[in-house]
Amino acid sequence: MTGSPALDLGAALAAGLMIGIERGWKLRRERSGTRVAGVRTFTLLGGGGGLAALLGTLIHPAVAVVLAAAMAGALLIGFGRQPGRRDVTGIVAALLAVGLGMLAGAGQPALAVAGAAMVTFILSTRREMHKFVGRLTATDVKAFARYAVIVAAVLPFLPNQLLGPYDAWNPFRLWLVVVLVTGFSFVGYVANRTIGARNGILASAIIGGAYSSTAVTASFARRLGTGEEGPLNAGIIIASAIMYVRVMILVALLTPSTLLPFIGVVGPAAVVGTIAALIGWVRSPNAGAADGETARNPVELLPALMFLLIVAAGAVATRWAQQQFGESGTAISLFITGTFDVDAAVVTLSGLPTGALGHQVAAVAIAGTVAANMALKMVVTGAFARGCAGPALAGLGVSTAVLLGMIVARMIGLSAT
């Protein structure tokens, strides 16, 4: 939407009107004579901003400055003389109406109207926002703040180019990995807070498995070892079944060309794991309370930085192995990188140059890291549960066996070709 001055002025008036309707409704019960600005005033403020920008374009920029300053001064005087409680939100909304009007008058009517819609929405959700903020805990605020730092305060300022030994590091893509992986943690944490712990072990297994099935396994196994009842064995299997889905999503996002071969190897094991999870849940005793470690703040900066170091080291090792041994060396390095963190292997693979590793070989390498991670979880379960995790070990074992069988079959097929 760009066009004539009439369209720009119309958009400026519409922007002011949208905000004015909300402000007028909000102040509808105020005593007559105490309101500084209502529907008409806000509409005129938007239109005045549009006229100021238009005159500044046609005559001189100083005209726009003078007119905008005059309107801002009038608003300050009016709100300053307001009896009783000072309405800071009102004056901010009025200044925004002027600014959005100027934006429309400067030739951006669509952006101005969209901005006015957002301002109106924010103003109209005052009660809901206050209720939401009232329910937040210190952990919630810290999680949000830390994730905001990871996404908005670091990522946009990193160079998007190859650096370091073997040109293995792209700072932007490395940090983007942290954004993606911690994003799984943050989304899972928000869902856990929304659903509530009273929904039991099932919610904890599903949400926790979305960002760390290994952590869920360790937590549930420890609880089994203390004699706690409930479907904890089923929860361990469910978390690993969710892990399969999470890894497939990561592969689809970071290296989509490998997705179909990867599903061909991992898909049967994922199906078997899901069936085992459903059977385990149906046969499990009633769920108890699920106050587990997965409810803690998931966006810790130190683990995120450690993950970054793992990925960076894996990228260097992979480039070195590629130069020294070709495709076989790259596959081995991917397997080593992902033994304790499958996500790290997927991320390392996504950082390779196009064609550096065949799609079939890459799929087998990542599937191998999944199998190694499953084996690690079986060891953790057996060590922590103290003989009380027979169903969980059976569920994990059958899924891992199917996965290993598919890996061996695919490797035989590759060697034959």
* pLDDT at position 244: 92
What confidence category does residue 297 fall into, taking pLDDT thresholds of 50, 70 and 90? low
Of 89-98, 136-145, 244-253, minimum mean pLDDT range = 136-145
CB of 335 within 8 A of CB of 407? no
Which residues have C-beta within 8 Å of that of residue 142, sequence separation ≥ 6? Answer: 297, 299
Q: What is the mean pLDDT of residues 354-377?
A: 79
pLDDT reported for residue 117 = 93
**What's the rounded Cα separation, in Å, for the pair 222 and 199?**
20
E strand map for 200-312: none
Q: Are the beta carbons of 231 and 285 closer than 8 angstroms?
A: yes
Q: What is the pLDDT of residue 153?
A: 86
- State the pLDDT at residue 81: 72
Which contacts of 355-358 are long-range, i.e. CB under 8 A and separated by 24 or more positions?
356/322, 356/330, 357/322, 357/327, 357/330, 357/331, 358/327
The pLDDT score that the predictor gives to residue 322 is: 63
Per-residue pLDDT at 255: 80
Tell me the average pLDDT across 377-388: 85
Helix or strand holding residue 327 (H, E):
helix 327-338
- Per the DSSP assignment, residues forming a β-bridge with 163 are 169
Give per-residue pLDDT as tens, 70-92: 998 888 888 777 666 566 888 89
Task: Return the domain boundaries, the chain.
Answer: 5-131, 138-416
**Angle formed by the axes of helices 359-385 and 327-338, nearest 10°:** 30
What is the spatial distance between Cα 338 and Cα 368, in angstroms, rounded to a whole number? Answer: 9
Is residue 2 predicted with pLDDT exceeding 70?
no
What's the length of the chain?
A: 417
**Residue with the larger pLDDT of the pair 213 and 353:** 213
